[in-house]
């Protein structure tokens, strides 16, 4: 809960800081510190989005994008205000060269547009999908994760409301009361001080909100520590994977279990656990990867179980369900029939394998064929010598020799510490 409050404080605080900088930095130079601030926020969000204490940084991402595009608009206005490029084409008689723009009139509309775009796309953005795949967790996985996911979206909605309201107030004051001569005290209050005051109020409001939520969620996470590992087995046989329908109507693997933190230590424990769940011991086990749930107390441990490719030996004993081909699973995924955890597993496995079969770890092609697409068959699962726990393959899938501006993207990832 403190991480949520901190993300809000930094995201909204960076926006307000730009308004404060306008008091001291000339308009011609203001885009530069705004871009630097965007870069710092972007780099920090990358560091918070990976590692053992990963958390959702959507609010920070929105703030970083807002600052970047605000700086672009500011610089364009500065260029236009030089009156060199469009001399004679634009009537400059009503403008004041000493005040080429008012910061908040650019900042809040840009933030409103970006917030609206993120809200409309929801969890379907590439950013959210990569985050879910990398951290092995999706929205709705447990009570704590659901609350966390809801609060991140609440922050986004609140930022959208704040930006729309402030945009309306600022443009109303600009149209009715502002004279383009100088910045007097009422002007500075509406354009700079009022948003800062709103930020201070929001910090207090958010602190109260997350303090109260922490009191509610605290006992839940305390109870979870008694069963702090969730083990999931993907069951494969030849070109088939076994799925079962859960209570909510979505399909998921039939082999999953919760175990205590000190009961599950190694692959041998996993073999015994699956044998107990299924009632059979003739299978091949493959470790995939481990992730953390949003409550930071639950390990999500993923394994693949490979059964002999024989109809008679394909029986999974105590585990109910049906066998599905890869094509059927793809259709179910596109129609949102799959459970969130299983969807994320399939996304991560497919993305990792396709990147591993096509590129090296620097993103360069293994074969001299542009946009080469290797085959992906479930029957080859046991043959793939790829480390699913290595998240660098997710970065390679996104930034490789077949993507535009490959070298520029790779340089940017190094510059910002981006890992996926």
Give the separation between CA 42 and CA 36, rounded to whole angstroms.
Answer: 10
What are the residue ranges of helices labelled H in 49-193?
Answer: 58-81, 103-121, 126-135, 143-176, 185-188
pLDDT of residue 15: 93
Give the separation between CA 368 and CA 347, rounded to whole angstroms.
Answer: 26
Residue whose structure tokens are 């409301």: 161
pLDDT of residue 53: 52
Do 206 and 152 contact (CB within 8 A), yes or no?
no
pLDDT of residue 342: 87
Q: What is the dihedral of CA 340, 344, 350, 352, to 10 degrees?
A: 180
Give the separation between CA 409 and CA 417, rounded to whole angstroms.
Answer: 12
pLDDT of residue 420: 45
Say how many C-beta atoms besides its own lie within 10 A of residue 83's C-beta: 13
Give the separation between CA 363 and CA 347, rounded to whole angstroms.
Answer: 19
Residuewise pLDDT in 10s, the chain (420 residues)? 788 899 999 999 999 999 999 888 888 899 999 999 999 998 888 777 665 555 778 899 899 999 999 999 999 888 877 766 666 566 666 666 667 778 999 999 999 999 999 888 776 666 676 666 665 555 444 556 667 778 888 999 999 999 999 999 999 998 898 887 777 888 888 888 999 999 999 999 999 998 888 777 666 555 554 546 788 899 998 899 999 998 888 899 999 888 776 666 678 888 888 888 888 888 899 999 887 654 455 677 889 999 887 765 566 677 888 999 999 999 998 888 888 788 888 888 998 999 999 999 888 999 888 888 899 999 998 889 999 888 888 888 888 888 887 888 777 767 665 554
Q: 0.75 cut: is pTM over it?
A: no
pLDDT of residue 400: 87
Burial class of residue 35, CB neighbours in 10 A (0-12, 13-18, 19+): middle
pLDDT of residue 139: 46
Output 128-134 pairs: Cβ under 8 A, ≥24 positions apart. Answer: 128/58, 129/347, 130/394, 130/398, 130/420, 131/49, 131/56, 132/344, 132/347, 133/344, 133/347, 133/348, 133/351, 133/394, 134/49, 134/50, 134/54, 134/291, 134/348, 134/391, 134/394, 134/420
pLDDT of residue 69: 95
pLDDT of residue 350: 92
pLDDT of residue 247: 84
- 256 sits in which H/E element: strand 255-259
pLDDT of residue 145: 63
pLDDT of residue 299: 74
């Amino acid at each position: 809960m403190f991480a949520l409050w901190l993300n809000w404080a930094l995201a909204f605080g960076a926006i307000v800081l730009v308004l404060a900088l306008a008091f001291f930095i000339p308009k011609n130079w203001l885009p530069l510190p705004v871009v630097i601030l965007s870069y710092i926020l972007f780099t920090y969000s990358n560091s918070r989005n990976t590692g053992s204490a990963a958390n959702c940084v959507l609010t920070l991402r929105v703030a970083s994008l807002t600052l970047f595009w605000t700086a672009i608009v500011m610089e364009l206005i500065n260029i236009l205000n030089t009156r060199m490029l469009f001399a004679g084409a634009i009537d400059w008689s009503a403008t004041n060269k000493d005040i080429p723009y008012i910061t908040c009139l650019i900042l809040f509309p840009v933030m409103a547009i970006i917030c609206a775009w993120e809200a409309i796309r929801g969890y379907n953005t590439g950013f959210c999908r990569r985050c879910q795949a990398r951290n092995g967790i999706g929205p709705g996985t447990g009570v704590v994760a659901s609350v966390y996911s809801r609060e991140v979206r609440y922050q986004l909605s609140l930022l959208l409301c704040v930006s729309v309201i402030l945009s309306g107030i600022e443009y109303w004051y600009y149209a009715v009361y502002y004279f383009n001569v100088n910045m007097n005290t009422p002007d500075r209050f509406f354009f700079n001080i009022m948003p800062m005051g709103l930020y201070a109020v929001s910090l207090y409001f958010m602190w109260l909100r997350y303090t109260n939520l922490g009191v509610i969620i605290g006992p839940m996470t305390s109870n979870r520590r008694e069963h702090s590992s969730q083990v999931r087995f993907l069951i494969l046989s030849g070109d088939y994977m076994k799925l079962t329908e859960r209570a909510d109507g979505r399909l998921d693997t039939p082999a999953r279990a919760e175990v205590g933190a000190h009961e599950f230590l190694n692959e041998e424990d996993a073999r015994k656990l699956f044998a107990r769940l299924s009632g059979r011991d003739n299978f091949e086990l493959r470790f995939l990867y481990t992730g953390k749930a949003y409550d930071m107390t639950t390990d999500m441990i993923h394994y693949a179980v490979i059964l002999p490719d024989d109809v008679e030996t394909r029986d999974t004993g105590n585990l109910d369900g049906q066998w599905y081909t890869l094509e059927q699973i793809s259709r179910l995924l596109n129609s949102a029939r799959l459970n969130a955890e299983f969807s994320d597993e399939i996304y991560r496995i497919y993305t990792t394998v396709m990147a591993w079969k096509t590129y090296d770890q620097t993103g360069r092609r293994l074969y001299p064929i542009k946009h080469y697409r290797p085959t992906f068959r479930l029957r080859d699962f046991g043959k793939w010598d790829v480390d699913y726990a290595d998240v660098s393959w997710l970065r390679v899938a996104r930034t490789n020799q077949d993507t535009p501006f490959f070298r520029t993207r790779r340089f940017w990832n190094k510059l910002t510490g981006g890992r996926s």
